Chains A and B, each alone.
Chain A
Amino acid sequence: MLEVKNVIVRYDTATILDGASLTVEKGELVGLIGPNGAGKTTLLRAIAGLINWDREILRGTRKSDVTFEGSIEFEGERIDKLSAFEIAKKGLQLCPQMGRPFVEMSVKDNLLAGAYLCKNRKEADESLVKVYELFPRLKEREKQQSGTLSGGERQMLAVGRSLMRRPKFMLVDEPSSGLAPKIKDDLFKRVEEIYHELGVTILLAEQDISFAFSLSKRNYVMSRGHIIAQGTAQELLKDETIRKTYLGM
């Protein structure tokens, strides 16, 4: 369903991705793990079209440039030259790190912004009901400005917002970062529900290895802009170098 081949991303002279490749099949939940600065977020951003966006907003503002090479295919179609909004239209949805809600909009308006691609009002309303079922807390805070939400609520809002238009494929960027263990567990259950009940294919970037391993069947390990290993949790844990160097356990 998703095929990333030899993606290189460079900001000025700093190489963030140095030939990263991975594939995700329809119906899989794949983990993307690795330490801080490995390039997980940049890889997800590249897939979602945000490197092209960076290029667009840097256009004309300074001499230095963003390099973006390699190929990304979604459902057999090249998407690496497309803008983020065009990629979103194809059913691929990035749920960004730290939630990134529209802070001055209410929780409900955030969700309605996520419903931009819904065909009509009815479809948006149905999605809203479903998201509120999944996260009752969001319903309670419906009218609250999202900038006043806690970290966990923001993350719920981001996941909910991504689900509004019923994506086929979700890229989830470190949903657990900065959350208390109890909230993490809850969010973890929700991600599992989304995967099993809504049938969304998921690529999940995580620093929290136990979080990623308990959800995913297959994982990619990233380090310094490369994919250095892949396998099931058991396989990765067996390899001592990987365990010690990159998984920190």
Chain B
Amino acid sequence: MAAIVITYAVVNGGIYALLAIGFSLIFGVARLVNMAHTGFFMLAAFGLFYCTKKIGLGYIEAIAVTIVVVTLLGILVYRFIIDRVREHHAAVLIITIALVMIMESALLWRFGGETRGVPSLIGGYVDIAGVRILNQQLLTVGVAALAIIMVLLLLTKTKLGIAIRATAQDAEIAGLMGISASRILLVTMGLSVALAVVAGILLAPLEGVRPGMWGAPLVTVMVIVTLGGLGSIKGSIIGAFIIALVEQMASFLIPNGGYLTGTIILLAMVIVLIVRPAGLFGTMFEEEKL
């Protein structure tokens, strides 16, 4: 049983990590709490469903179209809606909640409310230590790991990454270095949405698509980033796997525990916040930021 719990925790943890990194990244750079973040994840899952099942595109084409279209949509939404009210944090919250609800109603109207299946990219399974693991799950873990490593390399080793981190810490001083905050925010939003899109594409074949699928992951992601420390990428990654493990353990150890996972992860978050208000990897120098 332990093997099953760990398998599912790793698969879900990978998807959560992708979502949490994106959420944390745009918060860290723009102090922007994007409630529509998992909305883009949902659109990506539906994009894959629509392209493969309705239009009949091949898998690779469907993935490429979904990534490009949904990421572009995210950038446009940022540029023409969110950016206008960027410094008004309450307005950002309300507008992004409205956006994700609009996305949900649009999908309900177009596709109806039932869960639809999406074919796996690769079929079959392997047997590891007596646990049957779908190849699609292995692929999910591999892609998630690759995407996480690429984001980390981008942030630490490239000129763009340094500019993103500088803007996150002090946009005013970054401006003095010749870094345009607006441009960096736009790029970061694109990166953030692209990560949510990858997560959606990975999840769709495992769990199917449904217009309400943004809700539970959004709560989970918020728990993860609060637990890991808002704006901390390392915290998001580690937090994602901790929460995925806690969820799986809850549903396996408690009879009918499936209903309680939300409660348990929220409790875990509350406890961590009481002990460490800044989260596990919360910033030490917060007071020096503007």
User: Closest approach, in angstroms, between the C-beta of A246 and any C-beta of chain B?
Assistant: 29
Q: Do the beta carbons of A104 and B178 come within 8 Å of each other? A: no
Q: Do the beta carbons of B166 and A102 come within 8 Å of each other? A: yes
By a CB distance below 8 angstroms, the chain B residues around A117 are 177-178
Q: Which of A102, A147, A161 gathers most chain B CB within 10 Å?
A: A102
The answer to whether the Cβ of B271 comes within 8 Å of any Cβ in the partner chain is no
Q: Do the beta carbons of A100 and B178 come within 8 Å of each other? A: no
Q: Do the beta carbons of A96 and B88 come within 8 Å of each other? A: no
Within 8 A of A (CB), among B135-170: 159, 162-163, 165-166, 169-170
User: Closest approach, in angstroms, between the C-beta of B143 and any C-beta of chain A?
Assistant: 29
Determine which of A50, A61, A147, A165 lies in contact with B177 in the assembled complex, contact meaning CB atoms within 8 Å: A165
Q: Do the beta carbons of A104 and B159 come within 8 Å of each other? A: no
Within 8 A of A (CB), among B102-148: none
The answer to whether the Cβ of A42 comes within 8 Å of any Cβ in the partner chain is no
Q: Do the beta carbons of B179 and A85 come within 8 Å of each other? A: yes
Q: Do the beta carbons of B173 and A147 come within 8 Å of each other? A: no
Instruction: Tell me, in angstroms, the Cα distance from A119 to B148 when the chains sit together.
Output: 29
By a CB distance below 8 angstroms, the chain B residues around A49 are 175
Instruction: Tell me, in angstroms, the Cα distance from A208 to B244 when the chains sit together.
Output: 57
Q: Do the beta carbons of B179 and A113 come within 8 Å of each other? A: yes
User: Closest approach, in angstroms, between the C-beta of A145 and any C-beta of chain B?
Assistant: 9
The answer to whether the Cβ of A207 comes within 8 Å of any Cβ in the partner chain is no
User: Closest approach, in angstroms, between the C-beta of B121 and any C-beta of chain A?
Assistant: 38
Q: Do the beta carbons of A83 and B180 come within 8 Å of each other? A: yes
Q: Do the beta carbons of A104 and B177 come within 8 Å of each other? A: no
Within 8 A of A (CB), among B231-290: 283-285, 288-289
Q: Do the beta carbons of A60 and B166 come within 8 Å of each other? A: no
Chain A, Cβ-Cβ closest to B165: A105
User: Closest approach, in angstroms, between the C-beta of B196 and any C-beta of chain A?
Assistant: 25
By a CB distance below 8 angstroms, the chain A residues around B91 are 60
Q: Do the beta carbons of A105 and B180 come within 8 Å of each other? A: no
Residue-wise interface mask of B (84-100) relative to A, using a CB-CB cutoff of 8 A (1 in contact, 0 not): 11011001000000000
Residue-wise interface mask of A (111-134) relative to B, using a CB-CB cutoff of 8 A (1 in contact, 0 not): 011101100000000000000000
The answer to whether the Cβ of B65 comes within 8 Å of any Cβ in the partner chain is no
By a CB distance below 8 angstroms, the chain B residues around A60 are 84-85, 87-88, 91
Determine which of B166, B169, B171, B176 lies in contact with A88 in the assembled complex, contact meaning CB atoms within 8 Å: B176
Instruction: Tell me, in angstroms, the Cα distance from A225 to B159 when the chains sit together.
Output: 39
By a CB distance below 8 angstroms, the chain B residues around A162 are 176
By a CB distance below 8 angstroms, the chain B residues around A85 are 175-181
Within 8 A of B (CB), among A88-114: 88-89, 93-94, 96, 100, 102-105, 109, 112-114
| Interface size counted on chain B using CB atoms at 8 A | 28
The answer to whether the Cβ of B207 comes within 8 Å of any Cβ in the partner chain is no
Q: Do the beta carbons of B172 and A147 come within 8 Å of each other? A: no
The answer to whether the Cβ of A84 comes within 8 Å of any Cβ in the partner chain is yes
Q: Do the beta carbons of A50 and B172 come within 8 Å of each other? A: yes
The answer to whether the Cβ of B174 comes within 8 Å of any Cβ in the partner chain is yes
By a CB distance below 8 angstroms, the chain B residues around A161 are 177
Q: Do the beta carbons of B172 and A84 come within 8 Å of each other? A: yes
By a CB distance below 8 angstroms, the chain A residues around B169 are 102-105
Q: Which of A48, A83, A103 gathers most chain B CB within 10 Å?
A: A103
Within 8 A of B (CB), among A53-90: 53, 57-61, 83-85, 88-89
User: Closest approach, in angstroms, between the C-beta of A129 and any C-beta of chain B?
Assistant: 18
Q: Do the beta carbons of B87 and A109 come within 8 Å of each other? A: no
Given contacts A61-B88, A116-B159, contact A103 B176 (CB under 8 A): no
Q: Do the beta carbons of A83 and B175 come within 8 Å of each other? A: yes
By a CB distance below 8 angstroms, the chain B residues around A104 are 165, 169, 283-285
Within 8 A of B (CB), among A152-166: 161-162, 165
Instruction: Tell me, in angstroms, the Cα distance from A49 to B163 when the chains sit together.
Output: 19
By a CB distance below 8 angstroms, the chain A residues around B176 are 48, 50, 84-85, 88, 93-94, 96, 162
Q: Do the beta carbons of B172 and A116 come within 8 Å of each other? A: no
Instruction: Tell me, in angstroms, the Cα distance from A240 to B170 when the chains sit together.
Output: 43
Instruction: Tell me, in angstroms, the Cα distance from A112 to B166 when the chains sit together.
Output: 10
Q: Do the beta carbons of B87 and A58 come within 8 Å of each other? A: yes
| Chain B residues engaging chain A, CB cutoff 8 angstroms | 84-85, 87-88, 91, 159, 162-163, 165-166, 169-181, 283-285, 288-289
| Chain A residues engaging chain B, CB cutoff 8 angstroms | 48-50, 53, 57-61, 83-85, 88-89, 93-94, 96, 100, 102-105, 109, 112-114, 116-117, 147, 161-162, 165
7 shortest A-B CB distances, which residue pairs?
A: A84-B175, A88-B178, A117-B178, A113-B166, A103-B285, A102-B169, A85-B180
